[in-house]
Structure 1
């Protein structure tokens, strides 16, 4: 497993002269670090994976904790809801992790993202299987995620759950997350048979303050709206859930290279519907076909899979459109269909776009033009009202700061109320604007420091 490397100001050299204004220098270093991280200059928990062109980094969450999966539940390491973890899994392995959960007052979610190396040989059935079990071995949930028809290594996510109101898994105590890597027999090279990275992000959802309907809505607007028109705005994507770029309703454009996966996030409030379309531009090369070349997926605020669609590519423009999703409602969780069940709470919904690495063999290395059309319709209304706070602050609601972050194209899982993430949000302003802010902070702090020194000198007794 690759480890996060420490970063030091000025390349880590300690021989530089001590600045005259250490406080100003410290602030400058912090702000500069945020700016450079936002611009993609600094490493931030990255791993060589199928996330971005040329096998560059999949962005793990800042502050991920390393955790080793155990071969037996007896030795399973604990996971704390509200934190993110980084682990790894070898070919054919089954690993266990442990959570301590209360009684039926909370629903627990444990998304697990598998990150294959960019040079791994994969089949459509390769991927990950996740289950959550109670102390007696009774299964609470099963889920799996596979590479798919594009035959291209990419991050895939499966979700383990312990839900309230079920027959099983309602007792407090130890629960075990079982993670199994799925590999087709005989497929693979050194990268395929080695350890692949995992990211785990457990969270809990409190129960509602008041009991509500326990049946899924039977009627909702399932008609496809007219496609959004207008001049597209440029907005690059992130390389992981942790650095997903914010989007609001509109038409957005960027470039995507074969093997690249782009992550975006859209705030969707209670009562609102999300519509999304990804358009891959035409190629200058003619002839040929790549199966499942363009993949567009929707994940909910706990990274749970909602829906996805894949389209083949012949060199002519092609479009992947998510089928109309229901309005976000708490009682959607009681539905049978996964795409309805997944729209169960307000918050950031993730759009994940992947272009198969095999596109390069037939049509060239690119980049290829990518256009996203995102619509959020419907009037927002108050949510069910939770009896307690979620493990991640404001995870199941849409705040004013969330909407501002989406408009600015900020990266990060949560901006509202978090000063560190607000610093990272300068990515949406552009690097030049961010550097001007940095210089302004330096000037203000330096002036204050100088003024303080003058006041101290004035108070000293004269000889």
Structure 2
């Protein structure tokens, strides 16, 4: 039975009173963490990023010897120095596909080049390459959270069998970071759909450490073997953008605090250097499309390249597509490339924008406004309009032989659909799929956010009242 269920089911026996009191305290603290804005961490002079509550501290090793173990279903928090190379370890079953997304969080004051970023690769115990992927800051030249995905896919010609695998995380700084980051020995042999790392160059990067968040996920094999080729015939034409009255929906500060978003027209405000996270539930057979419009500015004139970046990530935080727009002060729109309907067999496509749409769940839309906007058009905030479509009829999944870890990460629930409409926190089944973990406990107990807030206020009142006599006793007498 999940911990949340145990807390809610605590009986009236004396032996369980302590457990109930502990549960209330945990619930209150969780409610505090889940209030708007979430639990964020701010690098010196930088933007806040909402790391997952309960992230485990981890320190990567300089080599495979001593590499710390990453357990699927947990999220980890660490950091990486300039030019750093860090190793982590996985222990996998033969039939398990593993995904290891790594998010790097630089401070806003960092000076970055377009090709600076992060590189993630997975290797077997003999050094053979399973996959590699890189993510750079791009033309916006603006430090922001960037995520690259490493994976070990069961059923491929390489990296098979149970045993030990290693995740190598490399920081891409101007001037290169080593053999793999510069395309040297060891850079070949990536999995289908992966792109090799780009060469680095340009101005000096930041001398400060970047934060890291690592969230490994495993996917079980199917009960029955299915097609081994990508489906064809899907409508790849750009759909008409969603229309209607825009509704306000502020974004979250990280994957863990992504705000649910459904089909329709949505509007938010974003400041230079800020990154906003949303999640859109897309079930098996459904097709997602999105555009972003950066509204006009009343002050300033000039041009900012890569002013607004719109990125789409799949339920394991793997990149699907990204688009950016240059800005001259007048309203301008950018759109993601059409994505195929969500199908298991998409993984066999040679194009990453198709192969990454391989499972149902929360798809993340991430907005970033370049820091350079403030120099030309002021501090803002600026209005962004998101137009989201989810087309197609949902159908049953492929039939897994076991459960993914975390459970529910490849599932869309009625609660998720309701949250996408109302802006709530979604269903409680996605224990690692990007929801607000504390609010899932609130939902499991049948307690609304308002009640949770009352609990918080109640605890504050009790603490204040207990502290008052002590303070009075210490007050000096005249």
TM-score scaled by structure 1?
0.83
Distance 1:305 1:290 in 2: 24
2:366 counterpart residue number: 352
What SS does the corresponding residue of 1:228 show, helix, strand or coil?
Answer: coil
Task: Please identify, of 25-34 and 340-349, the stretch whose mean Cα deviation from structure 2 is larger.
Answer: 25-34
2:301 counterpart residue number: 287
What SS does the corresponding residue of 1:161 show, helix, strand or coil?
Answer: strand
Which runs of structure 2 are paired with 1:28-67 in the superposition (5 Å)? Answer: 30=26, 32-40=28-36, 44=39, 46-49=40-43, 55-67=46-58
Query: Does the CA contact (< 8 Å) of 2:114 and 2:137 recur in 1?
Result: yes
1:448 counterpart residue number: none
Q: Is 1:140 the counterpart of 2:130 in the alignment?
A: yes
Cα 1:231–1:389, aligned 2, differ >3 Å: closer, same or farther?
same
TM-score scaled by structure 2?
0.80
Aligned length: 410
C-alpha distance after superposition, 1:167-211 (max 9, x if no partner): 11102111000111000137447xx11211111111100011111
Alpha-carbon distance, 1:97 to partner? 0.4
Q: Is 1:204 the counterpart of 2:200 in the alignment?
A: no
Which runs of structure 2 are paired with 1:37-436 in the superposition (5 Å)? Answer: 37-40=33-36, 44=39, 46-49=40-43, 55-103=46-94, 105-185=95-175, 187-188=203-204, 192-411=206-425, 415-416=428-429, 421=436, 424=439, 434-435=449-450
Distance 1:437 1:65 in 2: 25
What SS does the corresponding residue of 2:120 show, helix, strand or coil?
Answer: strand
Cα 1:427–1:119, aligned 2, differ >3 Å: closer, same or farther?
farther
Distance 1:175 1:24 in 2: 41
C-alpha distance after superposition, 1:267-303 (max 9, x if no partner): 0000000011111110012420000111001000000
Cα 1:31–1:130, aligned 2, differ >3 Å: closer, same or farther?
closer
Alpha-carbon distance, 1:441 to partner? 10
Cα 1:197–1:418, aligned 2, differ >3 Å: closer, same or farther?
closer
What SS does the corresponding residue of 1:401 show, helix, strand or coil?
Answer: helix
CA RMSD of aligned residues (A): 2.7
Query: Does the CA contact (< 8 Å) of 1:275 and 1:374 recur in 2?
Result: yes
Alpha-carbon distance, 1:62 to partner? 1.2
2:476 counterpart residue number: none
Distance 1:357 1:337 in 2: 32
Distance 1:131 1:369 in 2: 37
Alpha-carbon distance, 1:216 to partner? 0.5
Cα 1:31–1:74, aligned 2, differ >3 Å: closer, same or farther?
closer
Distance 1:388 1:25 in 2: 35
What SS does the corresponding residue of 1:180 show, helix, strand or coil?
Answer: strand
Cα 1:178–1:418, aligned 2, differ >3 Å: closer, same or farther?
closer
C-alpha distance after superposition, 1:151-170 (max 9, x if no partner): 00000111111011211110
Runs of 4+ in 1 over 4 A off after TM superposition: 21-32, 417-423, 425-428, 440-443
What SS does the corresponding residue of 1:371 show, helix, strand or coil?
Answer: strand
